[in-house]
Amino acid sequence: MQQVNRRHLLLGLGATAALAGIGGAAQAATKVSAGSRSVLIVVDVQNCFIPGGSLAVKEGDVIVPLINTLAKKFQNVVLTQDWHTADHVSFASQHAGKKPFDSVKLGYGNQVLWPDHCVQGTEGAALAKDLAIPQAQLVIRKGYHKNVDSYSAFYEADGKTSTGLGGYLKQRGMKRVFVVGLATDFCVAWTAMDARKEGFETYVIEDACRGIDAAGSLAKAWTDMKAKGVKRIQSADLA
């Protein structure tokens, strides 16, 4: 299958983004174990991304109880937070004449412009109040450099600047990564693909995610994840 640059997911997004849930998928043939060398990465379950937030994902709040339940099966959990400056380059408000979901060309590639969201220290950037994972060992913040976006928990949008998560997980002996959260076709997908890039066996738990399906971005994300070797499972497939 042809390999596709991950940032090409963003090409062609128009001014209107239809918020949608996730589609069906075949379940794994056998149960997958969340052993001592597995880590659950909970991506961006923040107030801005759930209903009522400035960049809300449809049903983004519905997955929270399931994520809480899944997390109890893992000895190792990492949480991520979008953590933008108030003048972040990805905000439409920072580009004259542009509106949310327009695109601009930046030094690292095509950039979708978003509504202001997850500004450092604001209530919108806080983790959703119903997210209850006290055993999480690390909260990794991303997107805090104002001149570059960061969808993945592993690398910023230039594809080169590391967050340090890969090294952290390797030093702790992790071998298998499971990804849940928001949004399937953006931060979840890029986190999963970069986990594969770092050499981890990688699973996305589909029913514990929700997506922004803009101009076919959700289907394309699943296609690109599959091409990178990411495995698509349901919560029922987890032992």
- Annotated catalytic residues are 44, 142, 187
Tokens 């042809």 sit on residue = 2
Partnered with residue 138 across adjacent β-strands are 78
Angle subtended at Cα 192 by Cα 33 and Cα 102, rounded to the nearest 5 degrees: 150
Cβ atoms within 10 Å of 96's Cβ, excluding its own? 5
Give 28's DSSP letter.
P
SS3 79: strand
Residue 63 in contact with residue 235, Cβ under 8 Å? Answer: no
CB-based burial of residue 160 (10 Å sphere; 0-12 exposed, 13-18 middle, 19+ buried)?
exposed
Question: At 80, phi and psi to the nearest 5?
Answer: -120, 155
Whole-number Å distance between alpha carbons of 48 and 50: 6
Cβ atoms within 10 Å of 183's Cβ, excluding its own? 28
List of E strands, 11-70? 18-20, 38-43
Whole-number Å distance between alpha carbons of 163 and 174: 17
